[in-house]
Structure 1
Amino acid sequence: VVERHQQRMAADYPHISSQLSTEALLADPTLELIVVNTPNDTHYDLSRQALLAGKHVLVEKPVATSVAQWHALTALARQQGRHLLAYQNRRWDTDFAAVRRVVESGQLGRLTEVHFRFDRFRPVLHTKIFKEDGRPGSGLLYDLGPHLLDQAISLFGKPLSFEKTTNSFRHGSQVTDCFTLQLRYPQGLNVWLSGSLLVADPGPAFVLHGTQGSYQKGRTDPQEVQLLAGLKPNDPAYGRERADQAGRLVLADPAGHNHVLPPVADVAAPATFMDLFDAVYQTIRHGQPYPIKDEEVEWQLEILA
């Protein structure tokens, strides 16, 4: 890990190797994989440096600030014979896993309308300047948009077309703090993705309507809160939602009467962020296909740009 100012990681991880610079980290021949989790506008350059140093790269979303940067990185990764992998951890959120189960069950019939929201209430500008100064990749669209886009693309694929609306409402804001994306798919399906920093009372995070029913669910994934509270991923409670957070599934019978039913149960262990790291391992060690495909990242960046 690179800790330029205060070396704190050893307190929790005494066997960790801490470096004062990126150059020292990349020069370490024992390291195979570099994780880039830095301000958005630095992702391209740091990923490029790591690939040139012969390392595999796992890069935080957004992987780049333009499609051209992504093309350059993927070409370099192929040239170097290394893997360039996008860190899209929200594909393994437990709430989104529940949405995926409902969609794949076919219970809703043909989907007609889908809404994914990611809202917060942060009316005051962030103290981290790089989040607010208008540099490439800053603002809510590039912060939360990649999560919502990856979830939508993983379920429905590349949209036929899209429209984008962005706004800045907070006093003194230089960046987007509210956005809506409308993705159009075959058979008339419309998918709306929205995010805002000015929602004090959030509604459901996921709302899906189909020809046979509807499903809605709150943003209930516990992993981020659990990790910040010190819970370890190997704890049996990690990633498990409460029973009352399963969401609301309403299906219509042939006579047109609505029935509230329990959503499709997760019979296995919950999907967690650790599944992403398992996928990284399988890709690097055994050549297994990585779940987040290069073309999916490209589609995402085309919409964000």
Structure 2
Amino acid sequence: MPGAKYNVGIIGYGLSAKTFHIPFINAVEDFHLYAIVQRTPKPNDDASKDHPNIKLYHSTDDLLKDGNVHVVVVTTAPNSHLELAKAAMLAKKHVVVEKPFTPTSAEAQELVDVAKAQGVLITVYQNRRWDSDFLTLKKYVEDGTLGRIVEFETHFDRHRPEPQVDTWKAHNIPGNGAVYDLGTHLMDQVIHLFGMPQRVTGFVGSQRESNPTGLEDSCTVLLHYPQMLATVKAGVVSPEVKQLRYWVRGVNGSFKKFHLDPQEDQLRKQGLKPGDKGYGLEPEEAYGTLNLSKDGKFVSEVAPTVKPATYVEYYRRLAAALNGDASQIPVPPEQAVGLIRLVELARESSKLGKTLDV
């Protein structure tokens, strides 16, 4: 239906829906926030009060029966993704699934197969493909500034040694844990740039002293390519003033970057939204550093962060894909299946204590 608005129904009304989806759906004119499924609204947490023009449903079944819903966004816990996404596609809805796609690659492939059979689109919300620092690094990789890359190190470390608060993310359920949560963000960026690796070595476990649920809170995953090693790290014991984000080395130079992309903090803590002044812009003190060879010597220079496309770009591309340009799908579902396979291999590698072929 090119040129028409797509009515969006969101399943779940937690942090993901409020912070990472609704602001960007509202920022793209092709979409209309039409309905939200919230089972038990509370006086201080009621989707219909926050968004008085939407339809509020208390069950997914009621949402899927609504023929005016064109796109369903699944923002619930990962162990529910298969059931909800499949039901939505069987109801002839296009689907966006919050990452991680599913707990297993077999489930992920099942969803891809259902999408093809139903003639609908399915994709996964890997918004950090549009982190401004990642786009900066991507430019240096693709334009040859760094030369052939031999080591690619990507971090999402934090210093949070105390046990998590009582949310579903604190429980050992299928699809939960560090390698599914932050690990999938980091590995997705790697395979977006370089494709699937040949081998995987995983170290997955807990850095916290108190870990009553057995939840895996930290991971280091080595992705082996023919002439490159990518190291993915997400830890909860990292007492640093500045947290390392990237350290990438090539034959012509290196790129090092501290600090995270600012969008999450701006959305959650500062109340900024897409279109607000300063949204997505990194301060100069957060810029990365390039080390490049000039006149036979290596010199350091500031690497300004590129103008951010912001996470709005995810939904812009989704609209283009729905309007008929398949090349614009923000995350091809086949890549999402491969990513979950890497998660499985990383966990199995950690358990067996050996490197595994992909």
**Counterparts in 2 of 1:13-92, with a 5 A limit?**
13-92=51-130
Conserved 8 A contact 2:57-2:63: yes
The 10-residue stretch of structure 1 (234-243 or 123-132) with the greater mean CA deviation from structure 2: 123-132
Conserved 8 A contact 1:94-1:220: no
Match of 1:2 in 2: 37
The one-letter code sitting in structure 2 at the alignment partner of 1:44 is L
The one-letter code sitting in structure 1 at the alignment partner of 2:337 is E
Conserved 8 A contact 1:139-1:176: yes
Distance (Å, rounded) in 2 between the aligned partners of 1:237 and 1:15: 28
The 10-residue stretch of structure 1 (8-17 or 272-281) with the greater mean CA deviation from structure 2: 8-17
Distance (Å, rounded) in 1 between the aligned partners of 2:177 and 2:311: 24
Distance (Å, rounded) in 2 between the aligned partners of 1:76 and 1:168: 36
Distance (Å, rounded) in 2 between the aligned partners of 1:131 and 1:13: 26
The 10-residue stretch of structure 1 (117-126 or 71-80) with the greater mean CA deviation from structure 2: 117-126
The 10-residue stretch of structure 1 (49-58 or 278-287) with the greater mean CA deviation from structure 2: 278-287
Distance (Å, rounded) in 2 between the aligned partners of 1:12 and 1:234: 20
Distance (Å, rounded) in 2 between the aligned partners of 1:231 and 1:40: 28
Distance (Å, rounded) in 2 between the aligned partners of 1:11 and 1:235: 23
The 10-residue stretch of structure 1 (97-106 or 153-162) with the greater mean CA deviation from structure 2: 97-106
**Counterparts in 2 of 1:193-232, with a 5 A limit?**
193-201=232-240, 202-228=242-268, 229-232=270-273
Give SS of 2:299's match: strand
The one-letter code sitting in structure 2 at the alignment partner of 1:179 is C
Q: Is structure 2 residue 330 aligned with structure 1 residue 274? A: no
The one-letter code sitting in structure 1 at the alignment partner of 2:244 is P
Indicate which of 81, 100, 109 corresponds to 2:138: 100
**Counterparts in 2 of 1:120-131, with a 5 A limit?**
120-131=158-169
The one-letter code sitting in structure 1 at the alignment partner of 2:222 is Q
The 10-residue stretch of structure 1 (292-301 or 82-91) with the greater mean CA deviation from structure 2: 292-301
Q: Deviations over 1:29-64 (max 9, x none)?
A: 111000001111111111111111111000011111
**Offset at residue 173 of structure 1 (A):** 4.2
Normalized against structure 1, the TM-score is what? 0.93
The one-letter code sitting in structure 2 at the alignment partner of 1:116 is T
Count the aligned residue pairs. 301
Task: Give me the identity figure in percent.
Answer: 34
**Offset at residue 137 of structure 1 (A):** 0.7
Distance (Å, rounded) in 1 between the aligned partners of 2:77 and 2:250: 39
How has the CA–CA distance of structure 1 residues 194 and 278 changed in structure 2, closer, same or farther, with 3 Å as cutoff?
same
Give SS of 1:18's match: strand
Indicate which of 189, 199, 205 corresponds to 2:228: 189
Distance (Å, rounded) in 1 between the aligned partners of 2:339 and 2:166: 25
Q: Deviations over 1:227-285 (max 9, x none)?
A: 12321212132111112222010112352x2211232663xx41210000011111112
Conserved 8 A contact 2:207-2:235: no
Give SS of 2:255's match: strand
Distance (Å, rounded) in 1 between the aligned partners of 2:55 and 2:281: 32
Conserved 8 A contact 2:259-2:286: no
Conserved 8 A contact 1:2-1:21: yes
Give SS of 2:155's match: strand
How has the CA–CA distance of structure 1 residues 85 and 206 changed in structure 2, closer, same or farther, with 3 Å as cutoff?
same
Distance (Å, rounded) in 1 between the aligned partners of 2:239 and 2:333: 36
The one-letter code sitting in structure 2 at the alignment partner of 1:3 is Q
Q: Deviations over 1:150-183 (max 9, x none)?
A: 1000111111111111121321241111111111
Conserved 8 A contact 1:95-1:218: no
The one-letter code sitting in structure 2 at the alignment partner of 1:181 is V
The one-letter code sitting in structure 2 at the alignment partner of 1:295 is E
Indicate which of 177, 185, 191 corresponds to 1:153: 191
Q: Deviations over 1:169-209 (max 9, x none)?
A: 321241111111111112x2110001012223253210011
Q: Is structure 2 residue 274 aligned with structure 1 residue 233? A: yes
The one-letter code sitting in structure 2 at the alignment partner of 1:184 is H
Give SS of 1:205's match: strand
Distance (Å, rounded) in 1 between the aligned partners of 2:115 and 2:326: 16
How has the CA–CA distance of structure 1 residues 55 and 128 changed in structure 2, closer, same or farther, with 3 Å as cutoff?
farther
Match of 2:200 in 1: 162
The one-letter code sitting in structure 1 at the alignment partner of 2:286 is Q
